Structure 1
Amino acid sequence: MTEKLINSKPNGVLALILIELTIVLGIFIFIMGVGSENIFGIIIGPLLIVIAALTHAGLKVVKPQEAMVLTLFGNYTGAIKEPGFYFVNPFSVAVNPANHTRLGQSGDVSTKSPFLGAKSSNDNDCLGNP
């Protein structure tokens, strides 16, 4: 399997603004539909609110020195390695393949180096005692 990097720019803020505007529009359409007893507004308003609420699941945050592996219904769709606020497919799931057996795990993969390059501090006296 080859790695597919998702190289899109972080566009989560724009998506968040559009989602919130859709929720406000849905509330407005519903209120206007109830006020005028219009069946169109009574149905479309809550439908817009539900669709916008479902798309909130597509907002993902990648922290510095972390990566995110995305799968859609179990199939690998790509990886995000750059930090930022992203909008991806709302049905895709962030998976951490290194920790797949723990319950309640984070979907983020740490890219931090486990070795910081520092020697262990060992202060011994002239007889070799610590």
Structure 2
Amino acid sequence: MKEKNAWKFNGFIALIISFAILAATVYNIVNTVKTGNVSSLVLAIIGVILWVIIQSSMTVVQPNQAKVLTFFGSYIGSIRQPGIWMTVPFVASKKISLKVRNFNSERLKVNDVEGNPIEIAAVVVIKVIDSAKAVFDVDNYEQFVEIQSETALRHVATKYPYDNYAEDDVSLRGNTEEVAAEITKELQERLTIAGVEVIEARLTHLAYATEIASAMLQRQQANAILAARQKIVEGAVGMAQMAIQQLESSGTIELDDERKMAMINNLLVAIVSDRSAQPVLNTGTLY
């Protein structure tokens, strides 16, 4: 099923025509009563039929709304332009909102790629772009959007870990833009059949499940400390190398391998230690 434009005619002109027919019909009825003219009676009957046909074909479309028209079970098209219109008479119409709307999913409990139970929720911004698909291809497009949104959210959540301190790895907490883009893409693939466009999808809630929240907090703290220590060690090694190179290049002192190792050891201890270094001043030997 694909949306198409239904035949329509300016409704204001149709109303003027219907009022003219109504006036002519009243005139013919009065003339028939007064004179008993059979031709006037026939014209009156024809006028009533035409007036009923025109009135049955009138429809009003509100802004950001579409009307899907069916004629005795056959889809004949949709009207998107707001206003009053005359279309095929005796049609059944169904209103479809074309406004942008938000859908807030419930908090879902799923397992991430590492098997940790997490709670996740998202907001999805959608808009109907094909009224025919929304009406005829799915039973209830709003319920369809709700179920498919939760399904896509579950699927994406199981593909990534909740958190990862490696720079090249994608995680739910650390790569919200990438995760949102993937949710949007997967939702669009699922909702195309319903004629719905996914404008945006964003995570609104992300947390570990309550039963493991305390344990995972300790794990996060340990991972954070380990990652920080790795950065500190990398910086300390670079600083020690730079200090020795500057001392040697300036020609101030000459260090043998043993003194280089001692200096590197002292610099690393002073930089890597989580406490302030206590300086020791060497004033020389007693003899």
Normalising by the residue count of structure 1, what TM-score does the alignment of the two structures yield?
A: 0.71
Secondary structure of the structure 1 residue equivalent to 2:63: coil
Does the C-alpha gap of structure 1 residues 56 and 7 become closer, same or farther in structure 2, counting only changes over 3 Å?
Answer: closer
Higher relative contact order (CA 8 A, sep 6+): 1
Partners of 1:14 and 1:109 in 2: CA distance: 26
Q: CA deviation at 1:68?
A: 0.5
Q: Which residue of 2 aligns with 1:3?
A: 3
Whether the 8 Å contact between 1:60 and 1:85 is mirrored in structure 2 is: yes
Q: Which residue of 2 aligns with 1:12?
A: 11
Q: Which residue of 1 aligns with 2:101?
A: 114
Normalising by the residue count of structure 2, what TM-score does the alignment of the two structures yield?
A: 0.34
Partners of 1:13 and 1:42 in 2: CA distance: 28
* Cα deviations by residue, 1:44-93 (Å, 9 ceiling, x for unpaired): 21331233023201110000111010111111100111211110011211
Q: CA deviation at 1:5?
A: 1.9
Secondary structure of the structure 2 residue equivalent to 1:30: helix
Please give the root-mean-square deviation of Cα atoms over the aligned residues, in Å: 2.2
Whether the 8 Å contact between 1:66 and 1:81 is mirrored in structure 2 is: yes
Partners of 2:66 and 2:48 in 1: CA distance: 31
Q: Which runs of 4+ in 1 moved over 6 A?
A: none
Partners of 1:15 and 1:62 in 2: CA distance: 15
Highest Rg: 1 or 2?
2
Identity of aligned residues (%): 27
Does the C-alpha gap of structure 1 residues 66 and 40 become closer, same or farther in structure 2, counting only changes over 3 Å?
Answer: same
Letter of the 2:80 counterpart: K
Letter of the 2:15 counterpart: L
Partners of 1:67 and 1:43 in 2: CA distance: 39
Q: Matches of residues 1-130 of structure 1 in structure 2 within 5 Å? A: 1-6=1-6, 11-94=10-93, 107-115=94-102
Whether the 8 Å contact between 1:34 and 1:41 is mirrored in structure 2 is: no
Letter of the 1:3 counterpart: E
Bigger share in helix: 2
Q: Which residue of 2 aligns with 1:102?
A: none
Q: Which moved more, 1:15-24 or 1:25-34?
A: 25-34
Q: CA deviation at 1:21?
A: 0.7
